[in-house]
Structure 1
Amino acid sequence: MNFGHFWIFLIKPALVFTIAYILFRIAGKKAVSQMTNFDLLLTFAIGTIISEPILTSKISMSIYYALTFLIFYLAVEKLSLHNKWRWFLVVSPTVLIRNGDIDEKGLKKERLTVNELLGKLREKGYADPSDIDLALIEESGQISVIPKSEARPVQPRDLNIRTERNFVPIPLILDGEIIEHNLKYLKRTKEWLFEKLDEKGVSQAKLSSVTLGTLNENNELMIDMEKTGAPLSNSPYLYKPGRDK
């Protein structure tokens, strides 16, 4: 294999991958949301590569480059699991607020304004930075907030209240259709379900009108029916902002 082939099949994709990653690192965490730098890089790279045959008809080369990028991606993901490589490959979180004080250096590094930071805090339910013990911008671009103990929501254990284990309602009817595998899981029959519906005043003929039917922790069937008829427009609880009439 001569240098030309070595360049095309190994050095060139590695170089493009490295340059693209450096550019995303320079762009900062605000450039990505929920996805990591590597996730976003792979998405853009494969999307661009796959669209290449539309213009050049080089299907085999496009497949090769897409697979090569995927192999680089998997290799980097594997290396990032090891501590000695993780510090180099994975972006560390940046402190934005510590002990109620805004870290101006952190804001400058991530190119965030104070207004943007306050908006992110409001999304988390906090209006005052002084209530925050620690706020970080993660690798995914999301801001995580740890409030001070006196500002966090009251937990049942704070009041010495014993709580029951959470129960996730099990859907039995979705959009008028019976979820048979959930009935089988509960060892129930359709006849039992129809009896429960009848107790709610819903006949078998009206099954298609049931938007959602779930079984709660008390073994009760809770249903949400399709609304029919127009509601009273003069009810203050039905006010819709922006309506002129």
Structure 2
Amino acid sequence: MATFDPPGLQHLAPVWVNELRRQGVDSDRTLALWRDDHLEPPPPDRIAMLQRWARGETRIVDLTRDEGITHSRVQAMLKDAALRLIAPHLEDLPRWEQARSTGVSPEVIAHLSNTVPEVVYLALDGWPARRNWTTSGDDVAEAHRRWRAGASLLDVAEALGVSEYALTQTLRSGESALTPRRLETADLRSRFGWTPSAVSLYRRRRVLPAPDGHEKKSAWWWESTLDSWAAERDLLWCQQCRRAFMSRRGLTGHRTQVHESTLEESPTGTLSR
């Protein structure tokens, strides 16, 4: 008997493929029937519940208490909600996987597909690993060694035996930390007050130091690299909005264009800021 392996399911996380088989999906016909039966989206409160759980913001034991239902019932609700959100996008999975492999974030993929980022993560990666990771000291040491060597988050996560998504979530929440820090373009914008276009311009003109590495297609720098660079550049700062400039001319033009409206005539007839 030929193996049932439609193109869309090749990119679906194994946990969902196994669940579909458990539900009797073993042919194109039964897959079509299953999908038709799961096209109705779950209620908004179920979607919110799934999102909170997938992000690690709540635990099943907390949901059990809050909803007043059994542990197994909560698990069934989460599974049903996930499958109903994934079902309309089975044909999109190859494109999702390809886009993510080229550096497109799950958030952007979700926006373009009219869904939420957690659906992209769940469809491609399966259930996120839980926070009670049973990693050994050797695993942690290897993860830090890979991180300091510039390895990708995926490689670091593999050393810990968890998914890339789970590691990303714990780093964002502050529950885990990897040192030294890696700064991405968004960090540069908040650190120096630059707009996205300014960051792009400085990179094109090679004003910024070369990135220390890339996460997929996103550049990153060690924090020490940018600390040293900033110290050597003698940056000029706008005191009103804390934006850094490379030249006195740039700072003066910025003040004139952006903050001129805040200039007021003082009682002595001089201008004050």
- Answer yes or no: same fold by TM over 0.5: no
> Of Structure 1 and Structure 2, which has the larger fraction of its residues in strand?
1
Length-normalised TM-score, structure 1: 0.29
> Of Structure 1 and Structure 2, which has the larger fraction of its residues in helix?
2
Instruction: Look at both structures and tell me which one has the larger radius of gyration over its CA atoms.
Output: 1
